Structure 1
Amino acid sequence: MTRPAAKGGSRASADRLARLLNLVPYLLARPGIEIAEAAGDLGVTERQLREDLELLWVCGLPGYGPGDLIDMAFDGDRVTITYDAGIDRPLRLTPDEALALVVALRMLAETPGVANREAVERALAKIESAAGDLVGAPVAVRLPGDTERVRELSAAVERGRALRITYYTAARDETTERTIDPLRMLMVAGRAYVEAWCRRAEGVRLFRADRIDAVAELDEAAVVPPQARRHDLTDGVFRPSPDLPLITLRIGRGDRWITEYYPCERVEVDGDHWLVSLRVTDLGWARRFVLGLGPDVTVLAPVELAEQVRAQAAAALAAYATPAGAAPSADQAVGAVTQ
């Protein structure tokens, strides 16, 4: 019985075949090249290259006799192809491969914050030139969040100008006017951000592009103080820390998505409900968050948050001014109460 190939074996064979097909035209263009230099260019070890050369010796045209097989000459540690058996050109991209590379490079070139965009554009130009008509079909690349506002901000950042923006801060549910000195544009989890020195806060801040309601480019260059430090966004924009408020909620089945969308410090099963603890930027944001979840959520801690939720729910009920005796209590309308 034939044993199945080891996992990854077929992939390794395919990689070696592609390497062998490109090896012959590579060596033809460099007669007498040192094996060590060739191995470095091709990204393999000298041992692997020698094994590839030994395999090439038994490859060639049908008939596989003298004059049919690939032949080469060795002079010490140098190698020269003396017969190529017709394999004198490197592999060409298929139409799908060429188009995929073009789309990927165009997307990379449009991504805010790319450090060396010129290198990307040079590589794109070379591939488009080599592929010719294969990529002649019109292709429009649009990134998530790639709006006119993002393009406007990117252009202003590249010009190195200070900006005056009108910005909505969701955590505090307020809109403020700010003057900022941009450092860079970023794309994190599909959202565009401007990282900038905020003169109002006197610190480096991240401003989400879709929350900038208005922007005006000033007639002055952006000046970033030497003490400004860029954010480490390896783990995302929001990084929970012990100094942030910790809230604990008792949630029903319909709100379990919270544990996948937000970083939670603790998740415990409590019958049909879950007990979830997570850090928040401030209690104002947490109050609006809880009120938006609906009646199957209970605030367990802190007490201050439960009282804020109860008070706002009561105020909302009072605004509707329903007949006496017919209005439900705040506790019935919103399940966010202290236990």
Structure 2
Amino acid sequence: MTSVSTRLVRLLNMVPYFQANPRITYDEAAIDLGVTVDQLREDLTQLFLCGLPGYGPGDLIDFEMDGTTIEVTFSAGMDHPLRLTSPEATGILVALRALLEVPGMVDPAAARSAIAKIESAAGTASGQEGGVAAASDEPAPVESSAAAAVRSAVRDDHALSIDYYSASHDVLTTRVVDPIRVVLVGDHSYLEAWCRSAEGVRLFRFDRIVDARELEERSAPPEPAVAAGPDTSLFDGDPSLPSATLLIEPSASWMFDYYPLRVERELADGTCEATMTYASDAWMARFVLGFGSGVRVLEPQSLVERVREAAVAALKAYELGGAEVGG
């Protein structure tokens, strides 16, 4: 899989290239563009979905292809040099900087380079070279070795061995997976992959991949799993697992960044009601008690009673221990 920035540059240049080389063959174009014929066909399919607002027939880029040659029949304006207005450049910069904060989505060095180039062009046009130069010299964010290994394996279609922390089960497991794609759900990036041990598609959150090692063997997820598109069923809850409704105080709101919670509603005082699936009542009771008064169980009642009993037992043990020390 080609990096996003590299492919974007190629796509932006393809229409002018084909206009300058009408009726060029697939093999010749692939050599000139430095890609395989299969990748060229994939790029052309992508371009068929691009065009002018309206995005209907007559608005999208179009080609005439007779099986062996390619010719542009409608360029949708992409035959002109790309020129960004100030708002457009600002929007792209904001998006690129946001992607830099999400592990695994882009190559940090490539994104930083793109940011520097856009800033430089915008600064030159507005006469602000001094401020832009300082921004352009910013180093690329440091990418974790695990995130880099995952991104490389997705790009090169290699299998991965990962050490993964499961928050709902409170365990660290090692498994071999066949990467499919990197997806963004909410504020987090996930590796979607075929898990060989589970024999199914799973989503692995990047910040819970403790370690990752790219393997020499090719990634080989089942074709139906690849064709099915991103599987976000994790966020709908596993119907085979129990689900708890929690009342979360603002002081414990950081837990949304680390645990698979779904916000149901926000209250006027800043607290939130959220649901969370879990593997066992014993684990969930320990989990909730660890937050003290910051988290309270609303449902199910069986879990409410279990947490209450555990809290009472802990207080009795504390009082007994204090009495023994005092005696």
TM-score, length-normalised on structure 1?
0.49
Q: Could you give the per-residue CA deviations for residues 251-275 of structure 1, whole angstroms, max 9, x where no partner exists?
A: 58667969x9953558999xx9x99
Match of 1:323 in 2: 322
1:243-258 matches, within 5 Å, as 244-248=241-245, 251=247
Q: 1:153 is aligned with what amino acid?
A: V
Residues 324/257 of structure 1: CA separation in 2 closer, same or farther (3 Å cut): same
Q: 1:168 is aligned with what amino acid?
A: Y
Residues 240/176 of structure 1: CA separation in 2 closer, same or farther (3 Å cut): closer
Structure 1 contact 182–222 (Cα < 8 Å) conserved: yes
Match of 1:201 in 2: 198
What SS does the aligned partner of 1:158 have? helix
Q: Which has the larger radius of gyration?
A: 1
What SS does the aligned partner of 1:323 have? helix
Q: Please say if 1:173 is aligned against 2:170.
A: yes
Match of 1:157 in 2: 154
Match of 1:14 in 2: none
What SS does the aligned partner of 2:202 have? strand
Q: Please say if 1:185 is aligned against 2:175.
A: no
CA distance in 2, matches of 1:317, 1:210: 38
Unaligned runs of 5+ in 1: 1-40, 45-89, 328-339
Deviation for aligned residue 1:208: 1.4
Deviation for aligned residue 1:156: 1.9
Residues 99/305 of structure 1: CA separation in 2 closer, same or farther (3 Å cut): same
Q: For the aligned residues, what is the CA RMSD? A: 5.3
Q: Could you give the per-residue CA deviations for residues 32-62 of structure 1, whole angstroms, max 9, x where no partner exists?
A: xxxxxxxxx9869xxxxxxxxxxxxxxxxxx
Q: Could you give the per-residue CA deviations for residues 39-93 of structure 1, whole angstroms, max 9, x where no partner exists?
A: xx9869xxxxxxxxxxxxxxxxxxxxxxxxxxxxxxxxxxxxxxxxxxxxx9x76
Match of 2:207 in 1: 210
Residues 158/319 of structure 1: CA separation in 2 closer, same or farther (3 Å cut): farther
Structure 1 contact 248–278 (Cα < 8 Å) conserved: yes
Residues 150/320 of structure 1: CA separation in 2 closer, same or farther (3 Å cut): farther
Match of 1:103 in 2: 93
Match of 1:231 in 2: 230
Deviation for aligned residue 1:146: 5.2
Match of 1:337 in 2: none
Deviation for aligned residue 1:191: 2.4
Structure 1 contact 183–197 (Cα < 8 Å) conserved: yes
Q: Does 1 or 2 have the higher relative contact order (CA < 8 Å, sep 6+)?
A: 2
Deviation for aligned residue 1:193: 1.7
Structure with more helix by fraction: 2
Structure 1 contact 113–184 (Cα < 8 Å) conserved: no
Structure 1 contact 266–278 (Cα < 8 Å) conserved: no
